Structure 1
Amino acid sequence: MGRNRGFTLVELVMVIVLLAIVATISVRFLALSTQGTVDVGSRQLRSFSAVVISEHISRALREALPGSIRVNGDGSCIEWMPVVAVSNYLNLPRGANPDSFEAAPLAGGDSANGRIVVYGYGSTLYSTGSPGPVSPEATLPTGASPVTVSFDGGANHRFATQSPERKFFVIEEPRTFCQQGSFLFRYRDYGIQSSVAASLPATMPTREVLAGNLVPDSLNFESVPPTLQRSGVVSFRFQVRSQQTGEVTSVSQEVQIRNVP
């Protein structure tokens, strides 16, 4: 009869050591693969957040009234006046107490409410003095041409200058983007102020959080104002940090502000 032969202690130890080595390599490989997947997902999420922030700022600024953009001293805040509608006037307010003027109606029979701006170049748009380029609140009604644009509450206003194209803008109250800590805020409905970010709302709904996870003090705005020969340009840059990995993505963007007298 043949002799039964089992494992020796040395062979058993060698098998255990080899299995331990294979297990260690496998666990390390799985850990690296998992970490790589987490890192890739974090980078994609961070890049997507950066694109959303950049696009939101760009779209908002493209609707700005030419000449209304201004930046605070350290570049952390930018303010602008959104354009609601554009039309042509037939005459500017006249008389001792001018409270209305005639204009072409908006296409599609729409109406619009807001301040009226006529040729604000070379003037401060953050002053509602009369005569001046920015009027009190007014209403552009619907109807057949011509329609009568009236200042709300019977207010009076004279415009300091005429537009070469007899064009006027209807604008909303100013808005502001500001970074505070790691958050980007949008402010609205705070009225016209003499300087940027002088007295901004502190609570909802006039203060809205647009983004988080920004690197503190990384957001910076720079504005090149428009002239009669070229459009204005706003450039901004910021950094987004991942909460999981601590990695940082840097973004730089330019927005053209079309110059339409």
Structure 2
Amino acid sequence: MNKARGFTLVELVMVIVLLAIVATISVQFVTLSTRGAIDVSSRQQRAFSGVVISEQITRALREALPGSVRVNPDGSCIEWMPVVAVSNYLNLPSGGNPDSFEAVPLAGGVSANGRVVVYGYGSNLYSTGSPGPLSPPATLPAGPSPVTVTFDAGATHRFAAQSPERKFFLIEDPRTFCQQGRFLYRYRDYDIQSSVAVALPTGMPEREVLTANLVPGSLVFEVVPPTLQRSGVVSLGFQLQSPESGEITNISQEVQIRNVP
């Protein structure tokens, strides 16, 4: 007579316990592997975002007029005047009410508009007084040489100094990068102000968001102003934080502001 074959209750319980242990280890392994992949992807995304933000700031500041770059006391905001065009003047405004001067036309037969700056070194470029380095808005027309640069709306202006190379710049209104809380904003199309970030625009399109994942208070700009012997340098540093894990990535960059008297 054959004996009955099967599992005892103890053997069945031991098998269930072993399977549970193996399943737990497998789940933990998959969980940790997935979390690791997510963390690596998050770090790569923050690093890429840092490169994009740094490149945007770098490209903007490289267009800055030498000597126009300035920061606020805590370094959270930086302001500059972008260069629109560069040419040479034949004479500076003269006479009782100087409202124009003759200049070399731009290459390609194009015109340009903006404020004229002549040799602003050692001067406050954010002062619109006359005499001074910064003129009222003006128009540089297209045409055969020479062309007449005329200040808009009948304004008059005298420049305080001459350029050794008879060079002048046409610039646009100031621009600003500024951190507020977690956000980095870019400001444009506002009037010249005596100080940085005094009365900036509060809405679109004059205020644009560049990023929303900054660590509050982490953005710091530092400026080494240009001289006649060397170019200016802007150094900047900020921190990006992951909204999910809270992990922080440090970003730093330097920008050379070319010195062209």
Bin for the TM-score computed over the shorter chain: over 0.9
Aligned to 2:61: 61
Secondary structure of 1:109's counterpart equals coil
Name 2:78's counterpart in structure 1: 78
**Aligned residue number for residue 28 of structure 1:** 28
Q: Deviations over 1:166-210 (max 9, x none)?
A: 110000001111110000111112211111111111122211111
Whole-Å Cα distance in 2 between the matches of residues 256 and 82 of structure 1? 14
For residues 245 and 98 of structure 2, the distance between their equivalents in structure 1, rounded to whole angstroms, comes to: 62
Q: SS of the counterpart of 2:197?
A: coil
2:133 aligns to what?
133
Alignment correspondent of 2:249: 249
Whichever residue aligns with residue 94 of structure 1, its letter is S
TM superposition score normalised by structure 1? 0.97
When normalised by structure 2's length, the TM-score is: 0.97
Asked if the contact 1:100/1:151 (under 8 Å) is kept, the reply is yes
Unpaired runs of 5+ residues, structure 1, are: none
Matching residue of 1:102 = 102
Q: Distance in 2 between matches of 1:44 and 1:251?
A: 13
How far apart are the structure 2 equivalents of 1:165 and 1:248?
48
User: Hey, which bits of structure 1, 4+ residues long, moved more than 3 A?
Assistant: 1-4
* RMSD over aligned Cα atoms: 1.0
Residue 107 of structure 1 aligns to a residue whose secondary structure is coil
1:114-193, aligned counterparts within 5 Å? Answer: 114-193=114-193
Assess if the C-alpha contact under 8 Å between 1:101 and 1:150 holds in 2. Answer: yes
Distance, in Å, in 1 between the alignment partners of 2:103 and 2:171 is 16
Aligned residue pairs: how many? 261
Verify the 8 A CA contact 1:239 1:248 in the aligned structure 2.
yes
- Match status 1:196 vs 2:189: no
Q: For the Cα contact (< 8 Å) 1:114–1:172, is it kept in 2?
A: yes
1: distance between equivalents of 2:151 and 2:31? 68
Deviations 1:27-78 (A, max 9, x none): 0001101111110111111111111111111111111000001111111111
Report what 1:212 is aligned to.
212
- The one-character-per-residue Cα deviations of 1:62-96 (angstroms, maximum 9, x if unpaired) are 11000001111111111100001111111111111
Structure 2 distance, partners of 1:245, 1:107, is 53
The amino acid of 2:45's aligned partner reads: L
1:42–1:244 Cα contact (<8 Å) kept? no
Match of 2:47, SS? helix
Moved more, 31-40 or 201-210: 201-210
Matching residue's letter, 1:82: P
